[in-house]
Structure formats: structure tokens, C-alpha cells
Amino acid sequence: MPLPLSFILQSTKLITLGGWDVAIIAIYFFAVLAVGFYLKGKSDSGEDFFLAGREMTAWIAGLSFLSANLGSLELMGWAAAAYQYGILGAHWYWIGAIPAMLFLGLVMMPFYYISKTHSVPGYLKLRFGESSRLLAAVSFAFMTVLMSGINMYSMALVLRVVLGWDINFSIWVSSVTVAIYVALGGLRSAILNEVLQFMLIWLGALLIPIMGLIEAGGWAGMQAKIVTNLGSDSYTHLWSTLGTFNDNPMGINWAGIVLGLGFVISFGYWTTDFLVVQRVLAAKDLRAAKMAPIIASAFKLLVPVIVILPGLLALAVLPMKLTGEEAALASGGHSYNEVLPLMLARYCGPGLLGLGITALIAGFMSGMAGNVSAFATVWSYDIYRAVIKKDGSDSHYVNMGRWCTIFGVLVSIGTAYMVMEFKSIMDYVQALFSFFIAPLFGTIILGMLWKRATPQGGFWGLLSGTVSSIGMWAWVKADPSALAIVALSPHAKDMAENMYRALWSWIVCVLVTVIVSYMTKPMSDAQLTGLVYGCTEIPSEGDLPWYERPVFWAAVIAIALVILNIVLW
């Protein structure tokens, strides 16, 4: 039987761990540390430490690719967003992920992989020169440690709400563990642990949707209860409420979803964010590199079951409305960000609780490790080697990567405390994406598809796009009425602002890149070989049968995506 919410809210902690629960959590921490120590001797070269020796199969690279993203942003952030906005949160998994993941696999991976770059900023260096590489590297390093703080804070929040653990203790225990196994084994350690964490996340997180649907009476019963509780059916429709800004809980329209999220934010994140691209660069060959994002996209179709569905079920089965973070702090109640731990406490008893808590810890540590390992690579290769010490040995840069991992964790701890000042995790995340990811996508896509783009155009386009996005954010903060201008409607809400700000910054980046490129001298075709379509021969897939070709499986995933959107229209 699920715990009554009145009992949950009256308790100083939601549940006390039993012996089996503690044992499951302890075994998990022991396992991830053991992987790090085991792989220490296999990560002595730069290729091994930063790119896992480029020997990962398509399945391992694909699961790691998805697991690195399956941190607190997914588990807690979007469970909270689903409670606040309804099924509209699923757009961030489907139209906001799948097309971009397929595009990465089919179109962009050949250039990343053929160029043998260690990072996305490394590709920019080859295509646009050192200034563009350095700007992208500094921006990415800054964003990465900020994002890592989200994972630390979110796990600490779960353990505080569910178990009553001190939030400082939780942050430091998780951080030290991640620092040890990534510093010892590098990317190979991070990838193998991410595959383990992927399995644990699904084993533990499936408990809530299964038991919640049983209590709610299935999907139809859940829909009926949500309508009864909220007096509206807009929380369970994907598209039918997006005709205007004020017909849906998110305060956004279809253009913001399709153009801001489905195009700029999505393609920017999945094709240029080195946190996830780094995992695919570790693939053993080009076909594996192309298949990895496609395999990950198949699982991405299913992820809303463990992150969006719990938020929807909370709308149906929790007998009281939770509030925003500020209101919760003022009243002593619970906020949107605590929906997932509340549902975990509702359904999980001894044994199951240990598995559920381990799944959440695994998700948070996976996201944290992904950010830290990506930060170490970008710092070591794209900032430290490019600017500070250009003539170091391979072992010198590996040692720098190990120390940088520890430094990155310490900085991330500081950002974890900064995250506490934001009223919504998702506000924080989407703002960062619009600052750094959206304009970077404009620069990368022009660099790969348009050979006329020049180094000067790439640099000034990226810089202007980033500055314009930060400027729009500051404008709205200083004058809230400016939201109606940025998001094109007086009825727009915060999430609409994020999507439209990303769109405008991408447009600024593209326009400036094009204008400056036509004013400056282009590079020769010989200089662009291996970097741009039209100047690069893409390796043939040989005599592979049709059912083993990446394009076939990409088509299967695309058809499944269309069917899901129609069914939940």
C-alpha cells in the first residue's frame, strides 16, 4: 500500500532505511570505486584517459551517451516539470531530442570522427581557428561545472527529503566518489560506470510508474483523476493545447516548441555539447560512432516512462497541490522539485527503497561524472595545452586531466550551493543552454555544411550569439515586461522565454557569421578537407545489408516518434 501523503508531510524524513537498503547502496558505491581502481593501469595515455582508447562498441557508446544525460536534469528536473506543466515535458525527450540524435549519427559524426578531434572545441580549432576554439572551450568549461552542481544538489535534496540526511554530507560523499573513479580511470571508467548506472536507473525508477498506474487505475484512470483534481485535461495532451500561449500550463505555443526547442536547443545540445559527443568519439570505428546515437535514441523514446509519468501520476494520486520552491520554503511544504522523492516514499518499502535510492544516486552520479570528465578533457586539451603549455608530454596532459578532475569536482561543489538559490532547476538549466549551446550550434552547423564560412565569421558569430542571449536574459530580469517582446506574447511564461531566447541567439549567430564571412577571405578546399561537406569523401559502408545500415534504424526510430506524437496528440 502507498504511504498516505499526510504521513509523509508530517515526518521529518520520509522513510528510514533498513539493513538491506543500506547494503544495496553500499554495494553500489563499492562497485563504482572498484571499476575506477581496476582501470587505473589502462588509462596512462591521453588517448586512453580522454577517449577510452577509441575502442567502445556501438551499444556501450550508445548507452553511455544516453546515461551521461540521464542525471538529475532527467530524473528530478523533468519529474518536477511534468507535475508543473503536464505531459508537455515529454517534448524535451521526443521532438526535443530524437531528431537531433539521429542527425548527429547520420550527418555530423563523420566529421567529428574523421577529424580525430578530442573535443567539439577541437573541431572548431580545425575549422575556424584558435580564437573560436578558445571561446567555445571557456564557455563550455563554465557551463559544465555549473551543470555538474545541479547533479550534486539534486542528489543531496533527494537524500535530505527521503532519508533526512544532511545536505552537506550528501554533496561531499557523492563528489569524492566521482572524483576518485574518474581521476583514476578517465573516460573509460566514466563510460563503464555509466552503463552500470543506466541499468540501475531503469531497475529502480520503473517501480514508481508501475505501482502508480496500478493505484491510479491505468492510463485512463490517471487522466480522469487529473481532470478531477485540476479541472482541466490540458495536462495530458502533447499538441492540441499549443495553438496559443494561454491554453496550456507551460504558457508556450507550438512555434516555441518546434523552433526553439525542437530545432535550436535540441540540435545545439545533442550535436555540439561535448558532454555527450565525447562518449560517441570513443567508438571503435565510424559505423559504431554513427550507430551509437541511434541506439541511444531508441531508449530515449522510452525515458518519459520513468521521468514524465511519475510527475503525471503525482497530479493524479497526491491529494494536495505542491508549490513552487519559494512558496514551499515559506510554508514549510514541499516543492515541485521534490515530486520524485515524494513518489518514491509513497510506493517503496524495505528493499525496494534501497533499489530506488540507488537508482537515483546512480543517475545523479552519472550526470556528474559526465560533466567532470568532459570538463577535464576540454580544459586539458583546449585551454591548458592551447594557451598555457603547448609543448608538454602526453603523460603531462594525462596528469593534468587527473588533477583537473579533482579541481572540477571542487568547483562543482561550489556551484551546487549556488543552485539552491534558484526557484526551479529547469529555469537554471534552460537559461544555460540558451547562453552557450544555441549559438554554438549555429557556428558548428555552418562550419560543417557551408564551406564559405570563414574563421573570422565563425568567431564573431559565436561571440555575438552568446552575448545577445545573455543580454536578453539580463533585459528580462531588469524589466519583466520585456518577456512579452522576447517571447512574442504578453501571455508567455518563463519556459517560453528560454525557447525564444535560444532561437534569437541562434539567428544572431548565423546572421553575423554569414555577413562577416562574405566580408572576409574564405579558406581553400584543400584546407577544408575532412571538415566540410563538399570537400570531404565520406567512407562507404561497403556491402552491409540494408538492415544493418544506420540510416535504416534511424528511419525506424523516426516512424515510432511520429506514431507516439499522434497517439498522445
Query: Residue 5: its pLDDT value, please?
Result: 38
Q: Is residue 276 part of a domain?
A: yes
Q: Looking at residue 44, what is its pLDDT?
A: 65
CATH of the domain at 151: 1.20.1730.10
What value does the mean pLDDT take over residues 187-209?
76
Distance CA 407, CA 413 (A): 10
pLDDT tens profile 31-80? 877 877 777 666 666 666 655 556 678 888 888 778 767 765 577 778 88
Give yes or no for residue 97 having a pLDDT over 70. yes
Q: What is the pLDDT of residues 286-334, one digit of tens each?
A: 888 899 899 999 999 999 998 899 989 988 887 666 665 555 544 455 6
Please tell me the predicted confidence (pLDDT) of residue 94. Answer: 92
31 in any annotated domain: yes
Using the predicted structure, report yes or no on whether residue 279 has a pLDDT greater than 50: yes
Q: Domain range spanning residue 51? A: 5-92+147-426+544-567
Rounded Cα distance, 224 and 72, in Å? 29
pLDDT of residue 84: 84
CA distance 419 to 152: 10
Paired with 335 in beta bridges are: 323
| Cα of 91 vs its chain's centroid, Å | 14
Measured distance CA(430)–CA(433) in Å, rounded? 5
pLDDT value at position 562? 95
pLDDT band at 11 (very low <50, low <70, confident <90, very high): very low
What residue has cell string 526535443?
A: 96
If you average pLDDT over residues 542-558, what whole number do you get? 87
DSSP track, 418-468: HHTTSS-HHHHHHHHIIIIIHHHHHHHHHHHH-TT--HHHHHHHHHHHHHH
Is residue 426 scored above 70 in pLDDT?
no
Average pLDDT over residues 340-363: 75
Element (H, E) at 155: helix 130-163
pTM higher than 0.75 for the full model? yes
**HSE-up of residue 293 (Cα within 13 Å, Cβ side):** 30
- Distance between CA atoms of residues 534 and 221, nearest Å: 55
The answer to whether the beta carbons of residues 137 and 121 sit under 8 Å apart is yes
What 3-state class would DSSP assign to 56? Answer: strand
pLDDT, tens digit, 9 for 90 and up, residues 354-373: 777 777 777 777 777 777 77
What integer is the mean pLDDT of 226-231?
Answer: 85
How far does the chain reach from its first CA to its final CA, in angstroms?
A: 33
Confidence of residue 22 (pLDDT cuts 50, 70, 90): confident
| Domain assignment present for 125 | no
- What pLDDT shows up at residue 161? 64
Q: How many angstroms from the chain centroid is the CA of residue 51?
A: 20
Q: Is residue 265 part of a domain?
A: yes
Per the domain annotation, does 488 fall within a domain? no
- Residues 448 and 525: their CA atoms lie apart, in Å, by 13
Beta carbons of 80 and 340 less than 8 angstroms apart: yes
Residue 422 above 50 pLDDT?
yes
Q: For residue 185, what are the contacts with CB-CB under 8 A and spacing of at least 6?
A: 35, 36, 37, 38, 39, 40, 42, 43, 192
Instruction: Say what the pLDDT of residue 471 is.
Output: 92
Q: Tell me, yes or no, whether 114 lies in a domain.
A: no
In a domain, 413, yes or no: yes
Do residues 491 and 244 lie in contact, with contact meaning Cβ atoms separated by under 8 Å? yes
Number of domains observed in the structure of the chain: 1
| Whole-angstrom distance, CA of residue 388 vs CA of residue 250 | 46
Residue 196 in any domain: the answer is yes
